[in-house]
Amino acid sequence: MNPVDPSTKVKVAIIGASGYSGEELVKLLLLHPHVQLTVLTSRQYDGRSLGEIFPRFASLPGACDLRFEAPDTPSILQRAEVAFLALPHGVAAEFAEPLVAGGCQVIDLSADFRIRDPKVYREFYGSEHPAPQLLSQAVYGLPEWRREAIRSAQLIASPGCYPTSILLPTLPLIRDGLIQPATLVANSLSGVSGAGRKADIPFLFVECNESVRPYGVTFHRHLSEIEQEISLAAQTPTVIQFTPHLIPVNRGILTTMSVAPSKQAEGPTGIDQIEACLRQAYEGEPFVRLLGPEALPDTKHVVGTNHIEIAWRMDPRTGRLMLMSAEDNLLKGAGGQAIQSMNILRGLPETAGLLL
């Protein structure tokens, strides 16, 4: 809550501000003490005022003069130092290229720069990568794991919602050799905002309410980045079992994982090693809440915040480890995490604008 000299505020653009992630970014950035939101693009809403489209933000500071505009790179480069891309994959890369070339720092919420290998991108996204020459400089923006790289990045690929919920609980344990990642079975339950604001019958209220369903069984695009990051931590190519489900809530992802401990972590003291590893990995992390032995995650404890809750249990009967996490798919799983990266990148307090 230190005073902020307006002239030092970071000028920020949101490219593609009409979806659920874009809307969340608008709110967070309007409330961010160190940010001045200068550009909001949306072809659909070109020319309309912010308050007309999102009445709930109309009275936030800095909102009254904001209008949506069609995206125009030269104009964005003149008015923004940082651009958040809240666009579909494929489209995002097209915007990223000239913005990066023009010196803008780009934080992309799409999948376009998350995958290091363009062949994997093609396999999972079904088309050639639109800007492969940028892949080497992109940083996978999971702040708890790439803080240093983020600090000096010009292009940040903000992780997907499911990957964040899976990677944060598992990466420390994989790195320390405490679990066998190839035995991982992950089930994720996501709120409907994850499907975006698009007019599709399966996402109508009546089709989702009083319904639960798996989807993308045996193949979901997010597997590409999950397995990339797990393989890096395991130092060996690794595939995992991941099944997403749609549940009738607006926001929130709950992930439940079962995994075999490594030899080292078997036996009665295994759970202590697991706990010690997680506590050491996330000590002092402002947005990771490690639950003690009595609590289990619940999306209602994280929705509306940038926090992830993580819990762990050793099953004495099967000898397997259970890992569970809860996050807000639009915050820690999207816009909140992206702003956390921006704070690091710009040398701001990491929690600025994110204590909700």
Asked if residue 304 binds its own copies (CB under 8 A), the reply is: yes
Task: Tell me, by CB under 8 A, how many residues bind its own copies.
Answer: 84
Catalytic residue selected from 64, 104, 161, 277 = 161
Q: How far is the CB of 268 from its own copies (least distance, A)?
A: 14
> Which letter does DSSP use for residue 159 in this model?
P
Asked if residue 70 binds its own copies (CB under 8 A), the reply is: no
Strands 35-41 and 185-190: unpaired
CB 6, CB 76: distance < 8 Å: no
Which 265-294 positions form the footprint of its own copies (CB under 8 A)? 286-287, 289, 291
Quick one: three-class SS letters along 205-241?
HHHHCCCCEECCCCCCCHHHHHHHHHHHHHCCCCCCE
Q: Is 161 a catalytic residue?
A: yes
Answer for which of 168, 189, 281, 310 binds its own copies (CB under 8 A) is: 189
Nearer to its own copies, 94 or 207 (CB): 207
Which 92-121 positions form the footprint of its own copies (CB under 8 A)? none
Q: Is 251 left (phi over 0), alpha (psi -120 to 50) or beta?
A: beta
Of 39, 167, 159, nearest in space to 110 by CA: 159
Asked if residue 310 binds its own copies (CB under 8 A), the reply is: no
Quick one: three-class SS letters along 13-61?
EEECCCCHHHHHHHHHHHHCCCEEEEEEECCCCCCCEHHHHCHHHCCCC
Answer for which of 10, 87, 139, 249 binds its own copies (CB under 8 A) is: 249
CA torsion 341-308-246-53 (nearest 10°) is -50
Asked if residue 345 binds its own copies (CB under 8 A), the reply is: no
Nearer to its own copies, 75 or 187 (CB): 187
Answer for which of 248, 272, 276, 279 binds its own copies (CB under 8 A) is: 248
Q: What is the amino acid identity at position 254?
A: L
Q: How far is the CB of 192 from its own copies (least distance, A)?
A: 4
Q: How far is the CB of 154 from its own copies (least distance, A)?
A: 28
Asked if residue 225 binds its own copies (CB under 8 A), the reply is: no
Phi first, then psi: give them for residue 298, nearest 5 degrees.
-150, 125
Answer for which of 79, 147, 313, 346 binds its own copies (CB under 8 A) is: 313
Catalytic residue IDs = 161
